[in-house]
Structure 1
Amino acid sequence: MEWDNQTFNPDFILMGMFSYTPTHVFLFSLVLGIFTMALLANTLMVLVIYLDMRLHTPMYFLLSQLSLMDLMLICTTVPKMAHSYLSGRKSISVAGYEAEICFCVSLCGAECFLLAVMAYDRYVAICYPLQYPSLMNWNLCRLMAASSWFLGVFDGIVDVAVTLSFSYCSQAISQFFCDVPALLHLSCMDTSTFETLIFICCEVMLLLPLSLINISYTRVIITIIRMSSGEVWHKTFTICTSHLIVVGLYYGVAMFIYKRPTSNRSPAQDKMVSAFYTILTLMLNPLIYSLQNKDVAKVFSKVLGKK
């Protein structure tokens, strides 16, 4: 990589999100509180699903994979941000930046595909309940989950390889974590071709899974409407609602971040949206599923009651 007059210090500088004013100290403490809740909630979700035999079904296995991705993602971004803020050391090596971008993009991409797999699972369970054991067997379930991880990692490797091939006019990045759009904004070179590549990747990583989710839930809604039992209708609707809320939060923010051209970006706006996307939603996901799903809520209550 080429560096203009700064070859002696190739590290990037993450400017962070907070200063040291009383208001920002409070906001930083709030972020740490949200991080702690997200860490505990997602860890508990994974452990509960793993330890309770009643939850050893494809639906809960996929939910545990979602919590695992959320857990890894929030542990990738927040600890580094907190360390930089508390120590005052904002630099990060090129290798560290590569690794964090790879982890973030890989996990976000994997989650895109996993949410589509979860929608397919709900579609089969509701529309074809008698054929569910054969249509959604364990081998297929594990294969689809592994494919989500693989596609996410592939996207992360491609993004890292191309992004860090550019030269940059500045090392100061106006972001609190390693992000591709924030880095491209500092490039001395024409990044329009790569922006086009990112747009195409977004079309595949966001719109394709979202289309599959829309198709699945359109069929699910049609099936629910035809149900004569009010109790079955309510239970089915509740299970689907939790997934749709998570999908809406995830895809809405992701499309806002990654489908805009670099020229239309505001650093302050990007920081706020990124914080919601990489911190707050990761705490909300297990809460949404545990509150909406009676099986998970009962097991959570049982575990917490014993503690």
Structure 2
Amino acid sequence: MATKNRTEVTEFVLLGLSSRPEIQPVIFGIVLAMYLVAVMGNALLVTVACSDPKLHTPMYFLLSQLSFIDIFLTTITVPQMLVHTLSKNRIISYNCCMIQLFFFMAVGSMEGHLLAAMAYDRCVAICDPLRYFAIVSHRLCLRITLTSWVIVSLNSLLYSVLVTHLTFCGNQVTHFFCDITPLLQLSCTRPVVNEMLIFTEGVAVVVSPFFFILGSYARIGIAIAHMHSVAALRKALSTCSSHILVVLLLYGSVIRMYLRPSSSYDLDQDRQVAIFYTVVTPMLNPLIYSLRNQEVKGALRRLFRKLWISGWFPGKEW
């Protein structure tokens, strides 16, 4: 019977954020607005980091990669959710669900690895500024990025393959995209192997960057404590504050979602947390880095000045 149920599940029904039809247009409008802000804000950061010579440094290379990841992360889930919000057809095929699960887990994990690389960059810049460009190079950042992609892709592939071997007793997913937690809840038997991997291998891949970030900021804290210059102290704090805020936004929601016993899962609350890290966090990241970073604001002014001179849009000179 279990095998029969498994073979009959050829598609899933995504229940979305809410089953109340009267609030679907409100959800659609709010999420669409946040999605557009997230995509345009991160695309603008990528454009500025690539086009402005003053931002051709390892730090801004990593920042542009983070913005690219945010665009990818929110695009994996949100457009589909917007279509389903105003449609009575909320079906996703089994294969598409597994593909979405793979890309979501890979891209979501990659964001943590990039934040860890950015923490290392800031650690070297503050603790060993004279040797910064000798230690942190574009080649090193590229190698870290490619290696991280390999790690998170293999990790995501492992989870996706294990999910395909589950026996499902239903096809209604209490979520707005195919995530591992609601899929595990549909399993006819307790997926012990999957849960063990989440708390072992999953912790190693997802949470280890967080511990690396904590270690980096411990070193930064020690270096700051020995600074006697107020200007140097202020500069060090300003370069780290944006990164710390982004780290708290990401890992606060990740720990809330995944690193807890299955008995404490509340899928209704998980949907609300999921919309936070799939839409709200990618929307806030470019705002945090642009509003709190003088170099980025200067690069934005130079970009808008070039566009104004080129006649892309009318307006006063920047």
TM over 0.5: yes
One-letter amino acid matched to 1:71 = I
Paired letter, 1:235: K
The one-letter code of the counterpart of 2:264 is N
Counterpart for residue 120 of structure 2: 120
User: How many angstroms apart in 1 are the aligned matches of 2:138 and 2:122?
Assistant: 15
Q: Is the 8 A contact 1:49 1:60 kept in 2?
A: yes
CA distance in 1: counterparts of 2:118 and 2:6, whole angstroms? 50
Q: Deviation string for 1:34-91 (max 9, x for gaps)? A: 0000010011111110111110000000001101111001010000111112232111
User: 1:299 is aligned with what amino acid?
Assistant: A
Q: What residue identity is the alignment partner of 2:52?
A: D
Which residue of structure 2 lines up, in the alignment, with residue 206 of structure 1?
206
Mapped to 1, the partners of 2:54 and 2:130 lie a distance apart of 19
Q: Deviations over 1:148-175 (max 9, x none)?
A: 2221111111110001111100000000
**5+ long unaligned stretches in structure 2:** 314-318
RMSD: 1.7
Q: Residues 18 and 25 of structure 1 are in contact (CA less than 8 Å); yes or no, is this contact kept in structure 2?
A: no
CA contact (8 A) 2:159 2:194 kept: no
Asked if the contact 2:6/2:167 (under 8 Å) is kept, the reply is no
Q: 5 Å matches for 1:239-254? A: 239-254=239-254
Question: SS state of the match for residue 161, structure 2?
Answer: helix
Residue 6 of structure 1 deviates from its aligned partner by 7.0
Name 1:68's counterpart in structure 2.
68
Compute the TM-score of the two structures, normalised by the length of structure 1: 0.95
Please show how residues 1-307 of structure 1 align to structure 2 within 5 Å.
2-4=3-5, 7=8, 10-19=10-19, 21-304=21-304, 306=308, 307=313
- Kindly state the Cα deviation for residue 200 of structure 1 after the two structures are TM-superposed: 1.1
Contact 1:111 1:148 in 2 (8 A): no
Kept in 2: contact 1:42–1:68 (CA 8 A):
yes
* Secondary structure class of the residue paired with 2:13: strand
Contact 1:184 1:262 (C-alpha < 8 Å) held by counterparts: no
3-state DSSP class of the match of 2:5? coil
Q: Distance in 2 between matches of 1:181 and 1:77?
A: 15
Q: What displacement does 1:28 show?
A: 2.3
How far is the alpha carbon of 1:304 from its aligned partner?
Answer: 4.1
Percent identity of paired positions between Structure 1 and Structure 2:
36
Inter-CA distance 172–3: structure 2 relative to 1 (3 Å threshold): farther
Which amino acid counterpart does residue 154 of structure 2 have in structure 1? F
Is the 8 Å Cα contact of residues 24 and 86 (structure 2) preserved in structure 1? no
TM-score, normalisation: structure 2 = 0.92
SS in 2 for 1:238: helix
Instruction: Tell me how far apart the structure 1 counterparts of residues 169 and 261 of structure 2 sit (CA, whole Å).
Output: 19
* Conserved? CA contact 2:24–2:85, under 8 Å: no
Offset at 1:206?
A: 3.2
Assess, with a 3 A threshold, how the Cα gap between structure 1 residues 5 and 224 changes in structure 2: closer, same or farther.
closer
Secondary structure class of the residue paired with 1:130: helix
Structure 1 residue 3, shift from structure 2 partner: 4.5
For 2:105, the aligned partner's letter is: V
- CA distance in structure 2 between the aligned counterparts of 1:284 and 1:2, rounded to whole angstroms: 45
Aligned residues: 306
Which amino acid in 2 is paired with 1:134? A
User: Judging changes above 3 Å, is the alpha-carbon distance between structure 1 residues 5 and 280 closer, same or farther for their aligned structure 2 residues?
Assistant: closer
Q: Distance in 2 between matches of 1:301 and 1:46?
A: 15
Question: What letter is aligned with 1:281?
Answer: T
Q: What is the CA–CA distance in structure 2 between the aligned matches of 1:29 and 1:45, rounded to whole Å? A: 24
